Amino acid sequence: MRKLFSYIVIAGLVGCLVSSCGIYSFSGTSIQPDVKSITIPYVEYTALRVNPSLANDLTEALKEKYRKLTSLEEVDVDGDLELVCTVTGYDVKATAVTANEMASQNRLTVTVKVEFSNKKYPEDDVSNNFSAYEDFDATLSLDAVESGLCETIIEKLVEDIFNATVAQW
C-alpha cells in the first residue's frame, strides 16, 4: 500500500513540475505563458506560375494548425506573434529522364518565405524559406494531379513552419 502511495505522490509531483514551468505543453509547443495571441494575415502569392487557390489553402491550413495545437487567440492585427508568409516559388521540373531523353517523372516544388515575429520575445523571431515537393508521373498533366499534390505539399509546409516557429525544433 505504501509503495502505491509513493508512486501516486511521485506522479503528482512530476505532473505539477511539468505543468508549472509554463512554456511546455503536451502538443509540443514552446510558447511563453504571457504570449496570448497570433496574427496570420492572408498568404501573399508572388510566384511566376499561378495556382489560384494555393495562397488561400495555405492560409487556412496555417490558421487551423495554430488553432488546434495552441491556445493562442487569433486576432486580425497586433498579435503577440505574427506569421507573414509569401509563396515565392511554384515550379515543375523533370526529375527523371528515360533513355530516349523524355521525362518520366516530374516534381512540383512550392517555396514559401516566412517572417515570424514574437513581439514579446524577439529572440524567437524566424525568417526563413521553406520548400516542399511532390513527384508525379510525367505522363500525367499537372492539371490532373495538381490538387492532390498541393494538398500534400501544404501539409508538409505547415508542419515545417509550425515546428520552426512555436515548436522551435
Q: What is the pLDDT of residues 102-158, one digit of tens each?
A: 778 999 999 999 999 999 999 999 999 999 999 999 999 999 999 999 999 999 999
* Mean pLDDT of all residues belonging to the chain: 86
Q: What kind of architecture, by CATH, is found in domain 33-167?
A: 2-Layer Sandwich (3.30)
pTM here is 0.80
- AA identity, residue 135: D
DSSP-derived pairing of the beta strands 44-45 and 73-74: unpaired
User: What residues does each domain of the chain span?
Assistant: 33-167
Q: At what angle do helices 54-69 and 142-162 cross, to 10 degrees?
A: 30
* Of 66 and 30, the one with more pLDDT: 66
